[in-house]
Amino acid sequence: MTGYRILAVIMVLGAITVLGAGGVFLWGKSQFEAEGPLSQETITIIPSGAGVKAIARQLSSDGIVTDALVFELGVRLTDKSGSLKAGEYVFAAKSSAKEVLAVIRSGKTRLRRFTIAEGLTSRQIVDQIAVTDGLKGSIYFSVPPEGSLLPETYYFSYGEDRQDVIARMARGMSDLVNTLWSGRAAGLPLKSPEEALILASIVEKETGVAGERARVAAVFINRLRLAMRLQSDPTVAYGITLGQAPLDRALTRGDLKAETPYNTYTTAGLPPGPIASPGRAALEAVLNPAQSGDLYFVADGTGGHAFSKTLEEHNRNVRKWRKIRDAAAQ
């Protein structure tokens, strides 16, 4: 075979190799961009520290991509293998391998949420967070101070540390109290944001009726101005349990006479600390209470309260409430 013919054969074989490689590349690209196997939106967790090969196999096993090798090669050929981020991701139905890769590279993980109700103690909040799925880490070694955690709905990503969530809740309460304190009504008998927080916690436990909070707050503000004892049942209950658990019985006459720092029947002024975590509405009510001369309130049998300015009127309301209560018990 002449040199010319040898050269021609080499050129032909080279062309075939190039065309073959090009064909493989085009096929791989089409598979990488083709519609994926998911029939519906799917959630998957990419674990921390997983490599490209492990992630590709997981996605294939979960039915998110058709071919693990195609996904892996797609990652490596785009030269961004180090940019895959751990976390919990949501993949749309029929997502291509290319679209799946874009989601994981974005780091836009799925947001979970939980809600802390107003009026819970720090112990109760810690108990709730401890069993919230998707968070990690222990928080039982240190229960935050009473009233320091803001009740609201919180969003988090899978794997977030519980202690970080607690810190976020504490910052939220501190920021809110200080902000509302700066816009408080003039002449309140409260010396500091901490005192406002204490009174707001009492208002929070006294009523769950939104329209009453400012009026309940006014009763306690008026009593503080007149140096009257607050006489709040929830503070007595807190003095018994110290926030470790709800009091599972009705208060007794003996409870109302018990000498504890939180018994506002026997101790003048505010208790030494909050008795729960108040929400924004209770804080706003305390710092901008209703304009009222009321000094008393008692349950009215409808879920709300009857308010009065004099002891005589209050005693009438108490008698009405007792009749309603006794009739309901029969």
Give me the pLDDT at residue 139, please: 81
Contacts of 13 (CB under 8 A, 6+ apart): none
Give me the pLDDT at residue 4, please: 52
Query: Above 90 in pLDDT, residue 113?
Result: yes
Report residue 228 as tokens: 């009257």
Query: Above 50 in pLDDT, residue 19?
Result: no
Q: How many other C-beta atoms can be found within 10 angstroms of the C-beta atom of residue 92? A: 13
Q: Say which CATH topology domain 33-109 has.
A: Dna Ligase; domain 1 (3.30.1490)
> For 212, which DSSP code?
G
Give me the pLDDT at residue 327, please: 85
The C-alpha atoms of residue 205 and residue 243 are separated, in whole angstroms, by 12
Q: pLDDT of 130-183, one tens digit each?
A: 999 999 998 877 899 999 999 999 999 999 999 999 999 999 999 999 999 999
In degrees, rounded to 5, the angle at the alpha carbon of residue 250 between the alpha carbons of residues 200 and 262 is 40
Q: Tokens 């729960």 correspond to what residue?
A: 276
Q: pLDDT of 207-226, one tens digit each?
A: 999 999 999 999 999 999 99
- pLDDT mean over 305-320: 95
Q: pLDDT of 73-97, one tens digit each?
A: 989 888 765 688 899 999 999 999 9
> For 134, which DSSP code?
T
Query: Above 50 in pLDDT, residue 239?
Result: yes
Better pLDDT: 270 or 18: 270
pTM: 0.84
Give me the pLDDT at residue 329, please: 77
- pLDDT mean over 25-38: 81
pLDDT confidence bin for 12, thresholds 50/70/90:
very low
Domain ranges of the chain: 33-109, 111-171, 185-329
Give me the pLDDT at residue 78, please: 82
Lowest mean pLDDT among 53-62, 73-82, 228-237: 73-82
